[in-house]
Amino acid sequence: MIEGRTLERIVETRDPAGTRALAGVLAVAARPGDLISLVGELGAGKTQFAKGFGAGLGVTDTIVSPSFVLMAEYRGRLPLFHIDLYRLAGAADALAGGLIDERQGEGVTLIEWAERLEDAMPSGRLDVLIEGTGDDPRRIVLRAGDAGYERYIEALPVGWAPEPAAERAPEGSGL
């Protein structure tokens, strides 16, 4: 990390609600045209993160894995575009040509398996790297690709951690 800069932060979550809560806090920093790359194994929690991010943007529709469509769009404070490259061989190539089109410029784009785009991913993005699967705690690395994305890291109070499950509102009540 560069001194005085907040390019990276690491947060641990112990359950999916914790990951959603983290994403919800980050969503406050969202601006039109933002790009967020979600990287982690199958079952790491990328879609859980997307759900929480959407909730933070005020999306009321249920966010599901968009594996069978190239891109799902949801309406919130800003439009949310959710892309999953897991099953879409060839889609990466298609996207690489015009990753951010005009419509996406008005909202936030979240891309699961973004590493499949390799060099086609602009460096101006927030990386969310999720380590761990199953019942393991998740180690979530948040990395700003350039100074324009530091606001996401700064939106997270230093030492922020999800509330313990017992103190949280029950499932289905929002975040």
* Residues lying near Mg ion in the complex (CB under 5 A): 46-47, 65, 112
DSSP label at residue 167: G
The smaller minimum CB distance to Mg ion, of residues 68 and 160, is found at 68
Q: Are the beta carbons of 78 and 106 closer than 8 angstroms?
A: yes
Contact 113, 137 (CB under 8 A): no
Torsion, Cα of 50, 13, 171, 80 (10° steps): -10
Closer residue to Mg ion in complex, CB, 19/104: 19
- Decide if 76 contacts 54 (C-beta within 8 A): yes
Of 47, 54, 82, 127, the one binding ligand ADP (CB under 6 A) is: 47
Residue 6 touches which of ligand ADP, Mg ion, none (Cβ within 5-8 Å per kind): none
Question: In the bound complex, what is the minimum distance in angstroms from residue 159's beta carbon to Mg ion?
Answer: 29
How many Cβ atoms are within 10 Å of 119's Cβ, its own excluded?
7
Q: Which does 79 bind (CB under 5 to 8 A by kind): ligand ADP, Mg ion, none?
A: none
What is the nearest approach in angstroms of Mg ion to the Cβ of residue 147?
29
Stretch that binds ligand ADP, among 12-20, 23-31, 71-79, 143-151 (CB under 6 A): 12-20
Is there binding between residue 158 and ligand ADP (CB under 6 A)? no
Phi, psi for 84 (deg, rounded to 5) = -130, 115
In the complex, minimum distance from the CB of residue 21 to ligand ADP, in angstroms, rounded to a whole number: 10
Identify the bridge partners of residue 5 per DSSP, sorted by sequence position: none
Q: Provide the 3-class DSSP secondary structure of residue 20.
A: helix
The site for ligand ADP (CB under 6 A) is made up of: 13-16, 18-19, 40, 42-48, 112, 138
